[in-house]
Chains A and B, each alone.
Chain A
Amino acid sequence: MRRKTPETATVARDLEQLQQIAKRLRVDILRSTTEAGSGHPSSSLSAVEVVTALYFGGFLRYDPKNPHWPDRDRFILSKGHAAPVLYAALAEAGFFPREDLMTLRKLGSPLEGHPNMARLGGVEASTGSLGQGLSIGVGQALAARIDRKDYRVYVLTGDGEIGEGQIWEAAASAAKYRLDNLTCIVDRNHYQQTGAAEEVLNMDPIDGKFTAFGWHTITINGNDLGEVVQALRRATEYRGQPTCIVSLTHKGQGILPLLEKLGDTNFHGKPLPAKYLDEALALLG
Chain B
Amino acid sequence: MAGATSALQSKRPLGKATRDAFGRALEALGAERPDVVVVDADVSNSTRTEWFGQKFPDRFFNIGIAESNLVGIAGGLASCGKTPVIASFACFIMCNGYDQLRMAVAYPGLNVKVVGTHAGISIGEDGASQMGIEDVALACSLPGFVVVVPADEASAKAATRAMLDHRGPVYMRLGRPDVPKVYETDNPPFRLGQANTVRDGRDLTIVANGLMVAAALDAADQLAAEGIEARVLDMHTVKPIDREALKKAAQETGAIVVAEEHLAHGGLGSVVAMAVAELEPVPIRYVNLGDRFGESGSPEGLLEKFGLTAENLAAAARAVIAAK
Q: Which of B68, B73, B109 has the most CB of A within 10 A?
A: B73
Whether the Cβ atoms of A139 and B75 lie closer than 8 Å is yes
Contact with B along A115-156 (1 / 0, CB 8 A): 011100000111111011011111111111011000000000
**C-alpha gap A172/B61 in the complex (Å):** 13
Q: Which of A118, A135, A140 has the most CB of B within 10 A?
A: A135
Query: Least Cβ distance of A175 to chain B in Å?
Result: 11
Q: Which B residues from 113 to 135 make CB contacts under 8 A with A?
A: none
Whether the Cβ atoms of B77 and A125 lie closer than 8 Å is no
Q: Does A219 contact B (CB under 8 A)?
A: no
Q: Does B79 contact A (CB under 8 A)?
A: yes
A70: nearest chain-B partner, CB-CB: B81
Report chain A residues within 8 Å CB of B270.
none
Whether the Cβ atoms of B99 and A136 lie closer than 8 Å is no
Whether the Cβ atoms of A169 and B68 lie closer than 8 Å is yes
Whether the Cβ atoms of B104 and A170 lie closer than 8 Å is no
Whether the Cβ atoms of B103 and A127 lie closer than 8 Å is yes
**C-alpha gap A172/B72 in the complex (Å):** 14
Contact with A along B60-101 (1 / 0, CB 8 A): 010110101101111111111110100000000000000110
Q: Does B108 contact A (CB under 8 A)?
A: yes
Q: Does B59 contact A (CB under 8 A)?
A: yes
**C-alpha gap A34/B156 in the complex (Å):** 54
Report chain A residues within 8 Å CB of B71.
135
Query: Least Cβ distance of B110 to chain A in Å?
Result: 9
Report chain B residues within 8 Å CB of A172.
64, 66
Q: Which B residues from 14 to 64 make CB contacts under 8 A with A?
A: 37, 58-59, 61, 63-64
**C-alpha gap A57/B75 in the complex (Å):** 28
**C-alpha gap A169/B102 in the complex (Å):** 18
Q: Which A residues from 144 to 192 make CB contacts under 8 A with B?
A: 144, 146-147, 165-166, 169-170, 172-173, 176-177
Report chain B residues within 8 Å CB of A118.
107-109
**C-alpha gap A14/B251 in the complex (Å):** 75
Whether the Cβ atoms of A139 and B84 lie closer than 8 Å is yes
Report chain B residues within 8 Å CB of A139.
72-80, 84
B97: nearest chain-A partner, CB-CB: A166
Whether the Cβ atoms of A166 and B76 lie closer than 8 Å is no
Query: Least Cβ distance of B224 to chain A in Å?
Result: 51
Q: Which of B77, B81, B102, B109 has the most CB of A within 10 A?
A: B77
Report chain B residues within 8 Å CB of A128.
103
Query: Least Cβ distance of A92 to chain B in Å?
Result: 23
Query: Least Cβ distance of A136 to chain B in Å?
Result: 4
Report chain B residues within 8 Å CB of A134.
72
A139: nearest chain-B partner, CB-CB: B76
Report chain B residues within 8 Å CB of A138.
63, 69, 72-73, 76
Q: Which of A128, A146, A177 has the most CB of B within 10 A?
A: A146
Whether the Cβ atoms of A116 and B37 lie closer than 8 Å is no
Whether the Cβ atoms of A116 and B69 lie closer than 8 Å is no
Q: Spell out B's residues near A (CB within 8 Å).
A: 37, 58-59, 61, 63-64, 66, 68-69, 71-82, 84, 99-100, 102-104, 107-109
Taking A118-B107, A136-B73 as given, write out 15 further A-B residue pairs in contact, using a Cβ cutoff of 8 Å, ordered by the A residue number.
A70-B81, A125-B76, A132-B100, A132-B104, A135-B100, A136-B76, A138-B63, A139-B74, A140-B76, A142-B76, A142-B77, A146-B59, A166-B66, A169-B63, A172-B66
